[in-house]
Structure 1
Amino acid sequence: MSEPMPFPEPPAPEPPAQPGGWQDLPVAEQIASWERAVPGSAERMLRQIEAEYEHRRWLDRVEIRFRIAGAVLAAFGVTGLLWTAKYLVDQGEPVAGAGLLGSGVVALSGLVMARDRSRR
């Protein structure tokens, strides 16, 4: 009996090109042709490229702040979950404490997995 033929692996998707940066700067011939067509246009276009670069840097800083805020909020949530479960166990309700802790772990795991899956 022969082995089944393996399925070919799909090609890995190429990462999207990151727009912006120094690779977006025009070459000298392009700048000269812009200046011949419309005087002052090269300066305007370079200002737009610089403004876009600064905007991207600002967006990166905002994203970092949101990530830090999310990590702090998650830490407080986990701490609250643990304290509440401990309180329930101390009050003689270990089943309720275990249920709360287990459901919280499942919910947080689902959030982390959904976030990781959406990035692919």
Structure 2
Amino acid sequence: MPPVPRLAGLAAVLGTWVFWSGVFVTGFGWIVTNNVLVGAAAAAFAAYTAARPSGGRLPAPVGPLIVLVAGAWTVAAPFVFGIEMGILFWSNVVAGALVAVLAAACLYGGRKLETDTPTTT
């Protein structure tokens, strides 16, 4: 069974990187605003998933699903915004792909937690 909190924590760290990437690699334009918003959402929901892998107030798959969509959008954003191939382009593609893969693993691991958890009646 994948360790959901650890995978989600790593996705939160990568979401934080996406948040700050426009500053650290000197981006400009809408991609920077996009990275701040999407990175913040990915980091926040991944951290929530790490803290509450069974779901808490949200249904269990909601947090990882939002992180998965944020990761996929992070990969697509440089193409949508027409960013030239460079450090920010590859940062988005690699970090977004990793976030999406980690979120997918959290979704799978969360499903596994639900099916493996014994129910008491």
Q: TM-score range by the shorter chain?
A: 0.3 to 0.5
Q: Which protein is bigger by CA-based radius of gyration?
A: 1
How high is the TM-score relative to the length of structure 1? 0.36
RCO (CA 8 Å, sep 6+): is it higher in 1 or 2?
2
How high is the TM-score relative to the length of structure 2? 0.36
